[in-house]
Amino acid sequence: MITFITGNKHKVIEAENIFKLFGVELEHINLGYMEPQGTLEDVAKFGAKYACQELNKSVIVEDAGLFIRALNGFPGTYSSYVQDSLGNQNILKLMDGVDDRYAEFRSVIGYCAPNSEPKVFLGRIKGQIAFEERGSFGFAYDPLFLVEEEDKTFGELTTKDKNQFSHRRNSLEKFINWYTNQRDE
Ligand code: ITT
Ligand code: NA
């Protein structure tokens, strides 16, 4: 059993579905932790260690973000704040007339077990910033994020479809593979 610490209910739904694919049990706790300034990895390590010490059990946390190349990686580690303050329409304005639409979502899972150092697992997915919001599935930047192979935004994909290849699927799959192997050793 793994405990996922997050305050984001959309992450919980996606993670529950991904864990089910691998037959690993997941519980969810909304603990809340301070996020230091730094990379996704710094935040994930800090959060995992903090929550593990608070609860005295093995936990995962996730720090994620959308990195837009033409905006030098913005909103990146500020994604949560920028989503709440600017929102998708203002991101589209920043991208007005910009030809380079390349963007990627990154997800870093931080794992920590009692009395050990945290480990991190990075997942990514490449895409494009759409010219308008499309679809109403998912959350936050999903309607903006175009997956070229599908010709659909994350907002047009069901959770099940998004979970086939999302940044969160990739980071969680890396974690689950590592976790189930080290348990068997
Ligand atoms: P927790 O820290 O409590 O887990 P959070 O929403 O604050 O929840 P992050 O700190 O990782 O999560 O912030 C990442 C932000 O990036 C998130 O709030 C969204 O705005 C955005 N984001 C991350 N993954 C996303 C996804 O799959 N689809 C759309 N937006 C996403
Ligand atoms: Na957060």
Per-residue pLDDT tens digits for 6-26? 999 999 999 999 999 999 999
Strand partners, 103: 68, 127
Question: Is this complex's ipTM strictly greater than 0.90?
Answer: yes
Is 63 part of the annotated catalytic residue set? yes
Backbone phi and psi for residue 158, each to the nearest 5 degrees, phi listed first: -70, 165
Residue 110 CB less than 6 A away from ligand 1: no
Crossing angle of helices 9-21 and 167-184, rounded to 10°: 50
Mean per-residue pLDDT of the chain: 96
Substitution site in 3, 8, 84 for ligand 1 pocket (most atoms within 8 Å of beta carbon): 8
Distance CA 30, CA 12 (A): 10
157 alpha carbon – ligand 1 mean position (Å): 17
pTM score: 0.97
Q: How confident is the model at residue 34 (pLDDT cuts 50, 70, 90)?
A: confident
Fold topology of 2-182: Maf protein (3.90.950)
Confidence at residue 35, expressed as pLDDT on a 0 to 100 scale: 86
Which entry of 42, 63, 100, 161 is annotated as an active-site residue?
63
At 178, is the pLDDT very low, low, confident or very high (cuts 50, 70, 90)?
Answer: very high
Residue 52 banded pLDDT, cuts 50, 70, 90: very high
Distances (CA, A) of 115 to 57, 112, 118, 123: 10, 9, 10, 26
**pLDDT score for 33:** 80
pLDDT in tens, 92-114: 999 999 999 999 999 999 999 99
Q: Which of 53, 45, 59, 55 is nearest to 6 (CA)?
A: 59
**Cα 184 to ligand 1 centroid, rounded to whole Å:** 32
The C-alpha atoms of residue 180 and residue 87 are separated, in whole angstroms, by: 38
Do residues 64 and 106 lie in contact, with contact meaning Cβ atoms separated by under 8 Å?
yes
* pLDDT above 70 (res 148): yes
In Å, what is the CA distance from 175 to each residue of 30, 122, 155, 185?
A: 20, 9, 25, 16
Which pLDDT does position 50 carry in this prediction? Answer: 97
Q: Where are the domains of the chain?
A: 2-182
pLDDT recorded at residue 1 = 87
Least Cα distance to 38 among 65, 4, 71 occurs for: 65
Tokens of 82: 């920028």
pLDDT number for residue 183: 64
- Contact by Cβ (8 Å): 105, 125: yes
CA gap 37, 40 in Å, rounded: 9
Is pLDDT of 77 > 80? yes
Q: What is the mean pLDDT of residues 142-146?
A: 98
